[in-house]
Structure formats: structure tokens, C-alpha cells
């Protein structure tokens, strides 16, 4: 059922406490929290409520990654004493499963918007003043306006996306076949996740990354562990290599690099990041300060124009759905007069859901050295080889802690299967400024991977148990 029949819609405009332009994670979170606080809300969305995360990002990609995990389990069952056979990937079935997950969550979100009495406006919005959003011929006026127009998949100058042989993650989510081979341009989170999926599905994959490491925003130790694991899985990569050109061939494409190397493949996935959707929406005309496409904001997500806020991928904060979600809540509570605490972006948990997973919270070792000085930084790495549950799962990796000498833990960096599930504790450790001794005193259940977090803190506190050396 279309959204317009599920949610209240005003065709003639109106006045509200808040008008929100964009219904992604940041926009709908702001709408739900504001309505909960008794504020009247109009939510303007040109496509589907839920935005990139629900429809083109977090949820569908993780569904693909779970299908990939099932494929690996079927293929590798013999090492666990389970006789199983892997016959191939049915992309029609995979896509049906993925779409079913998205559909159920979408229906639930529609119901939430309706139940909170939010006026949902389906259409393309344009900011015409600091207080007004126009949709078609109707104008929606707000005591406050929140910009939440999200992001788009970037490409490189001169690199044309055709949606067939040269694709973005948006196109890759809807492929009805498994490519025999693929080149992934970009070794960030999006790139390594699709490389992981396609390799599990049976494709030959080569990642091209201009920076010296995969997942370059992570601690270097995590990058190296992922690179080691990818080599073992047969995922190839070229690091410190810049893209030069792509040529279409009779069977696919040829990707050439500036270092003279070239690669033939069925398709090229362009995964060089996402850019803010801010052009031609009236932002500049309304006086809103913008830098390289991103709307500039303060710690409460206020723009340069009083009464106008911006959240999510539109602003230069981490492009993560849960960040946009938190910013939306922050803005709603700020408008509602609750005096919320600004977000500590170092304390936001981050995960790349490839196999193995890369998970972190806090700052890297190099950032800690810059902030506190080399003589004030302590690190401890606990190898998952000493963790019973990790051995049961046959996963390799590590938990690395970064701390201030005689001070709190300021970074937790993990690589291994399912380590993203350990971030709940890790973010409490960082955000509550816990010392190693504080965590070492806690009892972790056995056998679990969470013990690796506990063992790492025991070692950092000077009383290692299952640590060698």
C-alpha cells in the first residue's frame, strides 16, 4: 500500500511546530521524537520513509551479507563435521528474502509515523524561506525547519555510471545475477562489504583503494588484519593505487590504474563514498552556510540560519544511520526545550559487516598519540586465538585497546566474525570513561566472544590470564 494512503497527508499545506525535509533515519527519528514531545510535525519525503538506510543501504546490504554467511556455512560445513553441499546462488530467492526484510520494516515504520499523528507529505520539497518548505503548489510553514535530505552515491570525475557494467551500490543491490568477476573501486565500508558478499557468492573480486589500507579510517592494525583475512579468502586488492580509466569490452569492462596495471571483469562497482544532497533545494538562497556541499552546523545541529537545523548525511558528521538517528532525536529535544547533551562523535560505534567484521569505538592509536602524546598512550592487543568461542567459530582476529596512561580506555578496535555484537559493551567502556581496572573486575560469561573484551582489559590492567607474552 502506498504511503499516501497509510499516513495523514495535507495537500493544502499548513503550519507546524516542525517541518522536516527528508524522511530518512535522521528525518523520521526527529519526527517521531518531536511528536512524542507533543509537537506538531510535517514530514516531507519524495520517495519512501526510511531513506537510504532502510531501502538502499544498511538493511538490504546486511541481508545480502547474511545470505553470504549462509552460503559460506553450506560450502564449509565439512570442517564442522556437517555434510552439506553448496549448489549455487539463486539471486531471485536472495532478492526476495532481502526485499521481504525491507518490506516488513517499511510497513512497521509507516505504522509508527501514522500512529504518532505526523502529517506525511509525499513529494519533492524545496526550501523557500527559513520557515517554509514548498511541495508542489502547497507550502508548509514551521516554527522550525529540519533539513534531512541525505546523500547520494558519488563517482569520480569522468567516470560515468551506466547502471549495467559500471554501477554504484544502489544498482548492485538489485542485480539479478552473480558476477563471475568484479572490480570494486574503493576499499571503505561499502566496498569491503560488497566484495565480501560477492566472494561468498563465488565471484572473483579485486578491490582498488587509493589509500595505503583497506577501511582506511580504522586503526591500522584492524586494516592489516582485514587484509590478511581477505587474502586468505581469495579477495584481491590493490592498495595505494589510483583509478585511471574504464573501457567497455565485448564481455564486460577493463579497469586501468595509474600504476599501469589493468583488470578485466564483468562489472565495476564504484564505492568511493557518498555525497550530500544539497544542490538546487533552496538552501543557499535561504542563507544557509554550505561547505563542499555539506550544510554547516553547530553542536546542536543548528545551521547558520536561526530556526533551521540539519541532520544526517547532509552534514559533515559520520555517515552512519545511527548517527543521523541520534541527531534527529537531539534536534527534536533541543526544539522541545529539553537541553540535550551534544553528541560525542568519537563515541559512536562503527562496523564494517564484511567477513570478518571490523568494529570500533573511540579513537585510533595514531589519533591518541596526536591528542595525548606518544608517552601517554598505552595499547594492548588480545588475539582471538585465546578465546574459546572464537575458536568454535573458527574465526581469527583481535581486540585492540587504546588507553591513556593511568587513564581511561579511549579506543576499542576489533576484527573477527560477529565482533560487531561486542560493541555494545565497548561503547559503554569508552563513553563512561572506564579504566582497564574497572572492566577487568567485571565477570564475562563463558564461553563467549565477550570474554575477549574482558581478557584484553585484564591484560591492560596488568593481570593477563589467557594472554601470551
Write the DSSP string, 108-175.
Answer: HHHHHHHHTT-EEEES-EEEEETTEEEETTEEEEEEEEEE---EEE---TT----SSSEE-HHHHTT-
Cα angle value 164/69/209 (rounded, 5°): 50
From the list 252, 323, 325, the residue with the least C-alpha distance to 24 is 325
Question: Would residue 14 be called left, alpha or beta, if left means φ above 0 and alpha means ψ between -120 and 50 degrees?
Answer: left
Collapsing DSSP to helix, strand or coil, 338 comes out as coil
Collapsing DSSP to helix, strand or coil, 432 comes out as coil
Paired strand residues for 139: 134
Tell me if residue 446 is catalytic.
yes
A 10 A CB-CB count for 340 gives 15
CB 199 within 8 A of CB 178: no
Write the DSSP string, 387-416.
Answer: -HHHHHHT---EEEEEEETTS-EEEEEEEE
| Strands 357-362, 409-416: pairing kind | antiparallel
Question: Would residue 37 be called left, alpha or beta, if left means φ above 0 and alpha means ψ between -120 and 50 degrees?
Answer: alpha
Find out whether the peptide bond into 447 is cis, omega within 30 degrees of 0.
yes
The catalytically annotated residue of 126, 171, 322, 446 is 446
Write the DSSP string, 277-327.
Answer: --TTSSTTTTT--EETTEEP--TT-B-SSTTEEE-GGGSSS---HHHHHHH
CB 179 within 8 A of CB 265: yes
Residues with a catalytic annotation lie at: 446
Amino acid at each position: 500500500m502506498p504511503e499516501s494512503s497509510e499516513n495523514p497527508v495535507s495537500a493544502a499545506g499548513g503550519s507546524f511546530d516542525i517541518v522536516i525535509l527528508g524522511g530518512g533515519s535522521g528525518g523520521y527519528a526527529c519526527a517521531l521524537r518531536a511528536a512524542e514531545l507533543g509537537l506538531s510535525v510535517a514530514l516531507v519525503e519524495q520517495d519512501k520513509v526510511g531513506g537510504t538506510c532502510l531501502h538502499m543501504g544498511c538493511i538490504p546490504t546486511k541481508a545480502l551479507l547474511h545470505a553470504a554467511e549462509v552460503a559460506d556455512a553450506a560450502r564449509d560445513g565439512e570442517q564442522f563435521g556437517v555434510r552439506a553441499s553448496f549448489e549455487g546462488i539463486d539471486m531471485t530467492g536472495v532478492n526476495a528474502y532481502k526485499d521481504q526484510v525491507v518490506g516488513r520494516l517499511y510497513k512497521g515504520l509507516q505504522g509508527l509515523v501514522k500512529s504518532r499523528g505526523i502529517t506525511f507529505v509525499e513529494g519533492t520539497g524545496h526550501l523557500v524561506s527559513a520557515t517554509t518548505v514548498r511541495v508542489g503548489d502547497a507550502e508548509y510553514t514551521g516554527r522550525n525547519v529540519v533539513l534531512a535530505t541525505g546523500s547520494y552515491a558519488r563517482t569520480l570525475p569522468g567516470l560515468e555510471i551506466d547502471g549495467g557494467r559500471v554501477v554504484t551500490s544502489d544498482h548492485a543491490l538489485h542485480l539479478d545475477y552473480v558476477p563471475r568477476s568484479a572490480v570494486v573501486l574503493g576499499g571503505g565500508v561499502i566496498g569491503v562489504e560488497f566484495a565480501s558478499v560477492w566472494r561468498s557468492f563465488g565471484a572473483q573480486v579485486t578491490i582498488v583503494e587509493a589509500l595505503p589500507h583497506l577501511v582506511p579510517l580504522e586503526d591500522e592494525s584492524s586494516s592489516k588484519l582485514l587484509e590478511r583475512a581477505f587474502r586468505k579468502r581469495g579477495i584481491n586488492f590493490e592498495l595505494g593505487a589510483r583509478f585511471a580509466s574504464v573501457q567497455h569490452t565485448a564481455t564486460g569492462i577493463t579497469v586501468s590504474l595509474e600504476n599501469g596495471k589493468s583488470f578485466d571483469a564483468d562489472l565495476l562497482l564504484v564505492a568511493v563514498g557518498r555525497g550530500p544532497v544539497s544542490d538546487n533545494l533552496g538552501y543557499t538562497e535561504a542563507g544557509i552556510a554550505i561547505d563542499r556541499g555539506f550544510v554547516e552546523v553547530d553542536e546542536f545541529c543548528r545551521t547558520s540560519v536561526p530556526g533551521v537545523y540539519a541532520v544526517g548525511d547532509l552534514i559533515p558528521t559520520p555517515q552512519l544511520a545511527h548517527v543521523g538517528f541520534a541527531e534527529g532525536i537531539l534536534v527534536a529535544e533541543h526544539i522541545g526545550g529539553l537541553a540535550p547533551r551534544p553528541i560525542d562523535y568519537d563515541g559512536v560505534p562503527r562496523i564494517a559487516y564484511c567477513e570478518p567484521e571490523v568494529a570500533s569505538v573511540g579513537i585510533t592509536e595514531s589519533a591518541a598519540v596526536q591528542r595525548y602524546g606518544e608517552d601517554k598512550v598505552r595499547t594492548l592487543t588480545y588475539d582471538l586465538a585465546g578465546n574459546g568461542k572464537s575458536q568454535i567459530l573458527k574465526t581469527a582476529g583481535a581486540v585492540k585497546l587504546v588507553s591513556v596512561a593511568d587513564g581511561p580506555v579511549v579506543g576499542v578496535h576489533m576484527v573477527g566474525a560477529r565482533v560487531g555484537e561486542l560493541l555494545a559493551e565497548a561503547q559503554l567502556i569508552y563513553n563512561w570513561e572506564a579504566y582497564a581496572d574497572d572492566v577487568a573486575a567485571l565477570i564475562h560469561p563463558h564461553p563467549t566472544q565477550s570474554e575477549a573484551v574482558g581478557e584484553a582489559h585484564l591484560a591492560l590492567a596488568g593481570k593477563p590470564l589467557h594472554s601470551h607474552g
